[in-house]
Amino acid sequence: MTFAEVVEVVGKVVDAAGVAAIVVGALYAALLSLTRRREGNVYRLFRRRLGRSILLGLELLVAADIIRTVAITPTLESVAVLAAIVLIRTFLSFSLELEITGRWPWQQAPEQDPAPTGDARDARDAADA
């Protein structure tokens, strides 16, 4: 295999990982929400879990685009298209982060403690409701 073929395969694998992160995250969020539907804040928890999986998927998809574009076809046109794609996906990521947490990614959390993740965050949200 040539270098270009290896890079193309790696790009496709990272692409697939991005799509899988979104799909698996959406299924996980849906299943957890269905099993905990008696709790009062299920919708907010679902949105947070789904948003996190979309953010992870977007980051992987951007990485795959960078791998394929820069390593295989580094023409001015392909780099310009890549820049547009990265800008759009970055804007989406920032918008999702603002929607999920209520603050921009570069803003410090209201509490001094680092933001909990996963089940610790879910427990905090359940206590807030």
Specify the range with the lowest mean pLDDT, choosing from 10-24, 30-44, 71-85, 99-113. Answer: 99-113
pLDDT tens digits, 44-86: 888 889 989 998 998 999 899 888 887 777 788 888 888 898 8
pLDDT tens digits, 85-107: 888 988 888 888 888 777 777 77
Cα dist from 85 to 35, 44, 91, whole Å: 37, 29, 10
Q: How far is Cα 120 from Cα 129, in angstroms, rounded to an integer?
A: 15
pLDDT at 128: 45
Q: How far is Cα 2 from Cα 4, in angstroms, rounded to an integer?
A: 5
Q: Is the model's pLDDT at 120 over the cut of 70?
A: no
Q: How far is Cα 17 from Cα 37, in angstroms, rounded to an integer?
A: 29
